[in-house]
Structure 1
């Protein structure tokens, strides 16, 4: 049986095939892409910011961000375009989070790992101190 879903844009019920939106919303989205793409292809507009593209075309910022995120608008050709970092909202051109947020996350993970290793060393030292009085020695003479 086909998957039936609600369109994430308009809420209408449709048969879900390739996209999470209905055919009518997809057509509208493609019209918006054509509007933004034709605006950006003009030589004088290639350095336009997202805000300028929004103001000149009337296309919502979130939709323009989506086009950049999907790679439909190449940041190599249009260097002032980007989309917000999922963590802090800074404008980025690739990935899901900016370099600063990535460094914060990896730094925090590194710190947790160091703390864990420190606690393991402390526990090993405590065990060694407890076992000091019960050390057993074996003679090599008995094994030969």
Structure 2
């Protein structure tokens, strides 16, 4: 039997976007005041957006005229993807089937993340990066 998506259904606001370094210290992955939203519908379709709120604006005020540094800051200061998500409460896993992403290498992948749910706060960790950093993400359910 397929687990119910009801536990995830709705709109969530970003509570934190941190990173745990190999030495055990924890820092911010998307600046001091990241912002984001995670939406899941009753069929498990999702859209997720995380932004570093300190990303610099483009000086030319024209996205087609950004400098290489502005483009780098814009892409490195965001993580966004959409697709379908499934939840398995027995194994405490979320399975994301990524259809589209700001990081093209994620498109078409399946990503499994271990989660915890504490009241209206959902948190999970992403697989370790090549440098050993482990992204930690938390979402708070928005009330209707």
TM-score range, shorter chain: under 0.3
TM-score after normalising by structure 2: 0.21
Q: Which structure shows the higher helix fraction?
A: 1
Larger relative contact order (C-alpha < 8 A, sep ≥ 6)? 2
Larger radius of gyration between Structure 1 and Structure 2: 1
Q: Which structure shows the higher strand fraction?
A: 2
TM-score after normalising by structure 1: 0.21
